[in-house]
Amino acid sequence: MEPSRRLFLTSLGVGMLPAWLAGCGFQLRQTNDFAFKTLYANFSTTSPLGVELRRNLLGTGRIDLWTEAKLMLKADAILDILSEERQQVAVGVSATGQVRELQLRLRVRFRLRTPQGMELIEPVELFQQRDLSFTETAALSKEIEQAILYRDMQTDIVQQIMRRLSAVKPLSVVPPPQTTAPAAAIQPAAPDTLPKPAAKP
């Protein structure tokens, strides 16, 4: 097949791909909308989780991520990472007591609030776990595999956080009900001020 014809057919196939996907009911991932435009990052943006979360937030192109403490009270919302815990639990041992299987766990608690203290997302814990076979003779390769699994769990949790952030609805400002002063009670006139009946002739 001639190179020019091959290039034409390839371009045609790529151009028809979105229409074919749409016909099958598949939709390409859309950029999420958020109920806030500025977000204060109340977490470490240099930790592995913070780096990935920061990259995803900025990657939307719809959020200004602030990290300076003096800007916290000016942000539309504040994202708190309350805790991050990584665990390794032995779930399988050999007859001689050597570990043969590990379970890797990652727990992250976060919340979203306004600078005034209103919770847009109440504190919630996200949890991921992966199983890892283990052998002492391949300890180095298992360490590499462990790092890959932790990264995979971290990515999954970051995506869950992003979905929850995008699900926050804009707050409708409802003015406080106006209170009207109670009408003054009508007091009867004092006896000495009541008009006296006219004297009969």
Round to whole Å and give the CA distance between 147 and 149. 5
130 inside domain: yes
How many structural domains are present in the chain?
1
5 inside domain: no
64 inside domain: yes
**Phi, psi dihedral angles at 45 (to 5 degrees):** -90, 10
185 inside domain: no
Q: Which domain holds residue 68?
A: 30-168
pLDDT in tens, 95-150: 676 777 888 999 999 999 999 999 999 999 999 999 988 777 676 788 899 999 99
Q: Please answer whether residues 79 and 110 qualify as being in contact, where contact means their C-beta atoms are separated by less than 8 angstroms.
A: yes
What pLDDT was estimated at residue 21?
46
CATH number of the domain at 136, please: 3.30.160.150
Task: Specify whether the backbone of 107 is left (phi greater than 0), alpha (psi in -120 to 50) or beta.
Answer: beta
8 inside domain: no
141 inside domain: yes
Burial of 131-146, coded b for 16+ CB within 10 Å and e otherwise, reads: ebebeeeeeeebeebb
The per-residue pLDDT of the chain, averaged, comes to: 78
High-pLDDT (> 70) share of the chain, %: 65
pLDDT at 26 exceeding the cut of 50: no
CA distances, 108 to each of 83, 122, 155, 158 (Å): 6, 13, 12, 10
Write the burial class of residue 122 (CB in 10 Å: 0-12 exposed, 13-18 middle, 19+ buried).
Answer: exposed
42 inside domain: yes
Q: What is the sign, positive or negative, of the torsion defined by CA atoms of 39, 126, 52, 44?
A: positive
Alpha helices in the chain (DSSP H): 3-23, 48-59, 139-166
pLDDT at 23 exceeding the cut of 60: no
What pLDDT was estimated at residue 170?
80
Instruction: Please tell me which residue, 195 or 38, carries the higher pLDDT value.
Output: 38
3-state secondary structure 86-124: EEEEEEEECCCCCEEEEEEEEEEEEEEECCCCCEEEEEE
Burial of 176-186, coded b for 16+ CB within 10 Å and e otherwise, reads: eeeeeeeeeee
The DSSP bridge pattern shows strands 38-42 and 77-93 to be parallel
- Region 191-195: mean pLDDT is 50
pLDDT in tens, 148-170: 999 999 999 999 999 999 999 88
119 inside domain: yes
pLDDT at 27 exceeding the cut of 60: no
Q: Which of 59, 53, 48, 68 is nearest to 110 (CA)?
A: 53
What pLDDT was estimated at residue 51?
97
What pLDDT was estimated at residue 94?
67
Number of H helices, E strands in the chain: 3, 5
- Region 58-85: mean pLDDT is 96
The encoded tokens of residue 125 equal: 């814990």
